[in-house]
Chains A and B, each alone.
Chain A
Amino acid sequence: MRSASTRTVRGIALLAGTAAAALVLAGCSGGGGSSTGSAITIGTTDKVTVLDPAGSYDNGSFAVMNQVFPFLMNTPYGSPDVEPDIAEKAEFTSPTEYTVTLKPGLKFANGHDLTSSDVKFSFDRQLAIADPNGPSSLLYNLDSVAAPDDTTVVFTLKTENDQVFPQILSSPAGPIVDEEVFAADKVTSDKEIVDGKAFAGQYEITSYDFNNLIAYKAYSGYKGVLGAAKTDVVNVKYYADASNLKLDIQEGNIDVAFRSLSATDISDLSTNDKVKVVNGPGGEIRYIVFNFDTQPYGAKTPEADAAKALAVRKAVADVVDRQEIATQVYKDTYTPLYSYVPQGLTGATESLKPLYGDGNGGADVEKAKADLTAAGVTVPVKLSLQYNTDHYGPGSSDEYALIKDQLDSSGLFTVDLQSTEYVQYAKDRVADAYPAYQLGWFPDYSDADNYLTPFFLNPTGKESFLQSHYQNPAVDSLVLEQGVTTDPAARTALIEKIQDTVAGDLPTIPLLQGAQVAVTGTTVTGTSDTLDASFKFRYAALAKG
């Protein structure tokens, strides 16, 4: 105690005495990074909340979990579909029983055995804790977990032949944790996890400075589908401001910048010889939602008319020029999206392309005018459009200003554009306050189902995430059917059919699909391997020199 305080006092004295002079001298010592050996430094503007998989359900935290926790099922490099990760095999042993066999002799980085008991523990605690910020709601179909022997886990499901469940095992609800370190009934603190070395993924964390710097070291005990890490030491720096991230990658202070540089930064860096810009398919989509009750001619408006309402939606779809938005606002870091399932995923179509606009993806004002006139809609249509400024990236305001401009200048619409801060926005939109509004989606797992069920499955009495009062029993039954169709080809056909059907109803208008963009130093390799449709950025794929 005494020595500590003496040291502090001496430290302060020393600090005060030298700082003034040192500040002046420091300019000369420069600020060059001091990465050792072939260690890779990655920069990101992601934010981590909680390392414990039961306590967080956000992209930033999940990105860390993907490096350090193993999964039963995971997506190998380059594929959107899941395979057994630390498991030998995984299959339905009865319609409601999904049995996973673990590889033998697995261990955590702290030496504890990784057995079926840890797996059972991981899922049981998700359901028991059900943290308000956790992903337990993803385990909606899980009834119970059993561990008959050390390597066998049996998941009992509520409905039969759930084709999505293997994907759920690779989702934020799926990381396997150490039952000797984690608590069964409450969220475990970051410090206990890091100190307890409760890791068994491709990496373990050696130093953890919350939302500032995480140091990773390859974990040799990982025996899963992804293979060993190519780089032994990876450091990840967390930035608050994307322009600082941009400057650091441009100046060579870091090796990789991933999520999220602005479109301007990316287009500027792509002309810079000292860095490479690597693109991959992205799972993020942007779309406009129509509230079927309150949109023009909606069910609860004075002039309710379903046909006219549909004509209005079709006219919007005819008039928006996705390419102009992608190019002007996003410098082509987003690409036009013509269906509900984004490109790159199994079953994706381009259902909207032939139906709306010029038939080739472009806008067609005349067609929109004809649609509206045919339905007897008087132009211009007053459309109130809402968007959010702080949740879907800084481009949102420019994106929606341009959409307003496109709709207004067609002469068919008078758009009243409004924006609202996110928390209020999330409340207002489900309270039917917005006739038409912006939303975006980032998937929990890379399966078409994650773009369909949350949106378009609206059985009576239980509305979907959208809560836009869209209902189509035919779509409902198709969505349910694809979830339990075991034959892959038949399931893909169903998914395509759903997209075609929904495209006719237009409950939402898909606009853009975000690409994953990483900027790396010229000597960094392997980036394109991990920028795949799994939408998981694995540090282990990267190598330098």
Chain B
Amino acid sequence: MTAELATPDPASAAPPVTARRSASSGGGLLRYLIVRFLLIIPTIFILVTLVFVLMRSTGDPITAAQGGKLTAAELAKRIHDAGYDRPILVQYFEYIGQVFTGNFGNTITDNRPVTEVLYTYGGATLELAFYALIVAFIVGIPLGMVAAYFRDNAPDAFLRIFAILCYATPVFFAGLLLKLIFAVWLHVLPVAGRASTGAELQMQVLPGKTGIYLIDAFQTGNPDVIGDVLSHAVLPGIALGLLTAGVFLRLVRTNLIGTLGTDYVDAARSRGVNEFRLVRKHAYRPALIPIITVIGLQIALLLGGAVLTETTFEWKGLGFQLAQYLASRDFVAVQGIVALLAVIVAVTNFIVDVIAALIDPRVRY
């Protein structure tokens, strides 16, 4: 596999993300990137195998759907007909064989191609992740800079507590409070869902429908539809975004404080550059790589689908759907979605590494 992974390096005392990117003595950027890219394949393979084994030990989809209706004999017959009583290895190789030919199969419970499921719900999740990131960036990064600037003073204390509260509050609890305030008491925002009925119907008939409502809304060219879609995005975006914003705030603060103490910032300070400019200009750039690393992973996580947020706000995306398929033991669907999640996480990590390498030439590979 790769020499990089086994190379001793004190810096990799840090957790996964950074450690994975640890510097080494040889190789060169290109070789490093190729190896990193190829590692995506075993990662996915391991995950799919794991999911396969776990899912098969939890029962079959036919009992899940029909156990309340059919006699035991009829159930057994149907399970046999569907082949779920065959040895697990036979089923496993059959599935892996299919996947290698690019066929992810049809979902068991609702008979839809897995690729279509991924496409449909992936779009919804992508859109929610996009809104959440906007909130996270707008709230988290500037506030992190402010906290670093005022460090160890009252505003810093306040912001740090705010950040901790952001990720200490379960999103379903926050979501409930947001819904009560904005939808029920103030009547300014919708309760849940991605758009109201009328808007959804208009978007349904679009020829170039993407499933990403914001794009579809702009395609209709109807300002009401755009407003409707955006108003539905506000609460889920805030609920999920604040969670991420808390992470960003802390991250930016920590890393800025780290670089604010460095020699060259000190040098700038002694030249009389004012403190705010220091934060904005001089300290920001060196702090960027760890920030990008973590942001990358956050994005990967958001794209994986936020089950709790999606459930709270009726946002039918990948995470929500995955939980549904899990409950109905739809092996095929679960395996397909998890494989996609693995690809997303792996590819995002890869991209983050490339960007980090481009930003900081000091990183040798």
Contacts and interface: CB of A to CB of B under 8 A. Distances in A.
Q: Are A and B direct contacts in the complex by CB distance below 8 Å?
A: yes
Interface of A: 4, 7-8, 11-12, 14-15, 19-20, 22-23, 25-36, 41, 47-50, 52, 55, 57-58, 130, 132-133, 137, 187, 189-190, 207, 209-213, 215, 235, 237, 239-241, 244, 247-248, 250-251, 253-254, 390-391, 422-427, 430, 439-442, 444, 454, 462-465, 467
Contact of A31 (B59, B63, B74, B228): B228
Contacts of B112: 189-190, 210
A203 B204 CA distance: 19
Contacts of B75: 426
A29 B82 contact: no
Contacts of B234: 23, 26-27
B115 to A, nearest CB: 13
Contacts of A211: 316
A251 B187 contact: yes
B110 A49 contact: yes
A436 B314 CA distance: 37
A250 B192 CA distance: 13
B87 interface: no
7 contacts: A15-B218, A34-B228, A35-B198, A50-B111, A189-B112, A247-B179, A423-B329
Interface in B212-237: 214-215, 218-219, 224, 226-228, 230-234, 237
Contact of B63 (A130, A239, A423): A423
Interface in B51-89: 58-75, 78-79, 81-82
B111 A189 contact: yes
Interface string B182-221: 1110011111110011111100110010100011001100
Q: Which 6 A-B pairs have the closest CB atoms?
A: A31-B190, A426-B67, A34-B198, A29-B227, A423-B59, A26-B230
Interface stretch (B130-138, B149-157, B271-279, B356-364): B130-138
Given A20-B138, A133-B62, A423-B63, A55 B111 contact: yes
Contacts of B177: none
B191 A4 contact: no
B109 interface: yes
A258 B131 CA distance: 32
A396 B230 CA distance: 38
Contact of A213 (B64, B68, B201, B230): B201
B298 interface: no
A247 B184 contact: yes
Contacts of A212: 200, 316
B125 interface: no
B191 A244 contact: yes
Contact of B197 (A33, A130, A464): A33
A7 B72 CA distance: 54
| Chief secondary structure at chain B's binding surface | helix
Nearest to B120: A210
B172 to A, nearest CB: 10
B72 A467 contact: yes
Contact of A132 (B81, B179, B191, B208): B81
B32 interface: no
Interface in B287-339: 311-314, 316, 320, 324, 327, 329
Interface in B92-111: 108-111
A247 B67 contact: no
A423 B184 CA distance: 38
Nearest to B134: A20
Most buried by B among A31, A213, A241: A31
B197 A41 contact: yes
Contacts of A31: 183, 189-191, 196, 228, 231-232
B236 to A, nearest CB: 11
A215 B200 CA distance: 10
A14 B212 CA distance: 13
B258 to A, nearest CB: 29
A254 B79 CA distance: 40
Nearest to B107: A49
Contact of A57 (B66, B108, B329): B66
Contacts, number: 200
B62 A33 contact: no
A30 B66 CA distance: 42
- Using C-beta atoms within 8 Å of the partner chain, give the interface range for chain B: 35 or more
Contacts of A424: 59
Given A26-B233, A241-B192, 18 more contacts: A11-B218, A29-B224, A29-B231, A33-B198, A35-B198, A49-B111, A57-B65, A132-B62, A209-B204, A213-B204, A215-B201, A235-B201, A251-B183, A251-B184, A253-B191, A423-B329, A426-B68, A467-B71
B58 A423 contact: yes
B208 A7 contact: yes
Contacts of B227: 22, 25-26, 29
Nearest to A392: B68
A487 to B, nearest CB: 30
A20 B215 CA distance: 14
A34 B205 CA distance: 16
A245 to B, nearest CB: 9
Contacts of B204: 207, 209, 213, 215
B311 A247 contact: no
Contacts of B224: 29, 34
Nearest to A47: B324
Given A34-B197, A133-B62, A241-B312, A15 B215 contact: yes
A132 B78 contact: yes
Contacts of B200: 209, 212-213
A3 to B, nearest CB: 9
Contacts of A391: 68
Contacts of B188: 27-28, 30
A12 B59 CA distance: 42
Most buried by B among A15, A132, A442: A132
A445 to B, nearest CB: 13
B131 A19 contact: yes
Nearest to B190: A31
A137 B131 CA distance: 48
B191 A22 contact: no
Contact of A423 (B67, B81, B311, B313): B67
Given A34-B224, A240-B314, A251-B191, A23 B197 contact: no
B207 to A, nearest CB: 10
B201 A426 contact: no
Nearest to B233: A23
A329 to B, nearest CB: 20
A50 B311 contact: no
Contacts of B179: 247
A213 B237 contact: no
B187 to A, nearest CB: 7
B214 A19 contact: yes
A454 B66 CA distance: 14
A50 B277 CA distance: 61
A233 to B, nearest CB: 10
A19 B130 contact: yes
B182 to A, nearest CB: 8
Contacts of B210: 8, 11
B335 to A, nearest CB: 17
Most buried by A among B67, B78, B79: B67
Contacts of B65: 49, 57-58, 133
